[in-house]
Amino acid sequence: MFLSVTGISNAALDILIGVLLTLLTVAVLFISVYFIIKYAGKEKGANVLKLLVVVLVIGFLVRILLSIAVLGHKIDFRYVIQNTLEDPDYRVGDATEPPSLRLYPFTYYAISMFASPLLNAGLSYDNVIVNMFIKMPFMIADIVTAFLMYRAGKRFVNEYVGVILASLVCFCPIFLFASSLWGSIVCLLIPIFLGAFLCLVEKKYIPAILIADLALITAKEGMIILPVMFAYFLIVWIKSVYDYAKGNKASTTKNVKSTTSNYNTFVKKQKESLLNIVLIPLTAVLGQVLIYLIALPYLEPIKNLGSTYADFVELFFIMPIRDSWYFGENALNIYAVFGFNTERVVSKMNQMLIAVIFAVFIAIITGIVYFIKKNRAVVLAFGTYAIFTVCTYFVGFTALSIIPVLGMLLLSFVTTKDKRFFRSFCVTVILLIILVSIIYVKAGYYNTLHLSQLGSDYTGGTWLNVGSFKVVMIILSVLQVLNHIYLTFTTFDITINNRVRKFTLDEAPTFKKVMKEVFTNRK
């Protein structure tokens, strides 16, 4: 990769890089399964925390090196990041482009915090150090994601699995590519989604709501967390009202102290219900107020744009859904299967209707899952499935919009211990690394040149919508839709049939054993 940093990459070298990244992805996934099978049943060991620190530090240093070697996605870099930093009016686009936000406030602040001091000091955008610092929030987000995966693995399995999952995030090529080679703003959503759902699983409802709200001002894709969170907390609130009223009725009609086997438990449940009744709606309102206040400094410099809460809702919640111009921009979704990749959406009103249908469907199923299982790990698994579904069947997503789903699949795997979630994760990761590698090969992006430096003879482009590139896009999308169908059966098999397919542990697994565990559903 470092051989091509001084000019437009040689096509053969670019293809070689893509092949190597794909092979490295398969190797990292195989090694991860091997060590999960080997160490998932072990007791606590020494020096695990030290190993975690080493993994996180090396993972961060690798990202630094990669961010210097390759500029990133040049169109995103120029039109999404540079223009927004230079011109406040560009934050809402212009007449020739979709009237949607370029950078959301939290992402804008994060990038500005690292890049603005260097730009103000006189360094230009073509400086490799500026390039590295623009990507810094995304690389830090990866390390936070790795730590959260360690925390989840430690809690639900053991410290060894926690370190294995952290290592997977640190060294899996798709995470490296998204943050360091592409510089995708969606990377910021991975730890936010993980943090919100981890808090939900641990019944830390206040931070779960506030973290989920943060997703709404980070990137457009942050909206996909809203239906599951809204439905879950609405159900918890209604149930708390019912439980509290039922408890009060029992306490007034009977001598609770003498008829209740555990009076302290009764009082604790009443207090918990009352706190949920008060704090859930209060926190929901507070969260909206906080993200609105956070967004105000971002909105005020924009000409001809109001800064009321109604304007805030219009910009962040309505426009991103209503004004998508394309069925998908190299997104692995159902529309690409039928050749609609990068095709314009004809009716914008239909987008809102589809979004409402999706939200209502997800909310209803979330309620059904909750009342059937009352198991927050299963609700998390369904939340993962719901987000995967939106990314597969809704319009307006890009190649890396599904990146937050990868973290959710890993989290679902570690909480349910069902290896089918890990299997879906592996398929998605392999398809994605092939996709982004092809995009970079076609565009000639494995270098440090800016878009304006490519020259008048540049004939590349990022859209996979012609010739053999379109055929590959269709094949990858078909496989991803099949992967979604597989995840559908997995999710409802766990929910309805209570059937979990775990890895069979072995302290000395062989290659054949690992392959058998990956490709069979033996308990």
3-class secondary-structure state, position 258: helix
**What is the structure's pLDDT at 322?**
73
Angle at 312 between CA 92 and CA 81, to 5 degrees: 35
Measured distance CA(148)–CA(190) in Å, rounded: 10
Q: Are 208 and 284 in contact (CB under 8 A)?
A: no
Q: Which of 95-104, 123-132, 134-143 has the lowest mean pLDDT?
A: 95-104
**Phi first, then psi: what are they for 328, rounded to 5°?**
180, 150
Q: What is the pLDDT of residues 33-80, one digit of tens each?
A: 999 998 888 877 667 889 999 999 999 999 999 999 998 888 888 777
Residues 6+ apart with CB under 8 A from 161: 36, 39, 40, 153, 154, 414
pLDDT band at 522; cut points 50, 70, 90: low
Buried b (16+ CB within 10 A) or exposed e, 70-93: bbbbbebbbebbbbbbeebebbbb
Handedness of CA 4, 452, 319, 90 (dihedral sign): positive
Which of 81, 78, 90 lies closest to 138 in space, CA to CA?
81
Confidence check: pLDDT of 184 > 90: yes
Residue predicted with more confidence, 406 or 304: 406
pLDDT band at 98; cut points 50, 70, 90: very low
> Structure pTM?
0.91
Q: Are 103 and 97 in contact (CB under 8 A)?
A: no
Angle at 409 between CA 225 and CA 206, to 5 degrees: 40
Residues 6+ apart with CB under 8 A from 481: 333, 334, 337, 392
Q: Are 330 and 184 in contact (CB under 8 A)?
A: no
Q: Are 186 and 232 in contact (CB under 8 A)?
A: no
**CA 424 centroid distance within chain:** 15
Residue range 113-125: mean pLDDT, rounded? 88
Q: What is the pLDDT of residues 378-403, one digit of tens each?
A: 888 888 999 999 999 988 899 999 99
Confidence check: pLDDT of 366 > 80: no
In the chain, the amino acid numbered 221 is E
Q: What is the pLDDT of residues 266-281, one digit of tens each?
A: 777 888 888 999 999 9
Q: What is the pLDDT of residues 458-509, one digit of tens each?
A: 777 888 988 999 999 999 999 999 999 999 999 988 888 888 888 887 777 8
- Find the DSSP H helices in 157-262: 159-171, 173-176, 189-201, 205-216, 226-253, 256-259
Measured distance CA(435)–CA(23) in Å, rounded: 14
Measured distance CA(204)–CA(208) in Å, rounded: 6
Which of 423, 394, 406 lies closest to 493 in space, CA to CA?
423
- Find the DSSP H helices in 417-503: 419-443, 467-497
**What is the structure's pLDDT at 293?**
94
Q: Is 62 left (phi over 0), alpha (psi -120 to 50) or beta?
A: alpha
Measured distance CA(275)–CA(227) in Å, rounded: 23
In the chain, the amino acid numbered 76 is D
Measured distance CA(186)–CA(204) in Å, rounded: 25
Which of 134, 144, 153, 130 lies closest to 44 in space, CA to CA?
153
- Find the DSSP H helices in 157-204: 159-171, 173-176, 189-201
Residue range 420-435: mean pLDDT, rounded? 96
pLDDT band at 6; cut points 50, 70, 90: very low
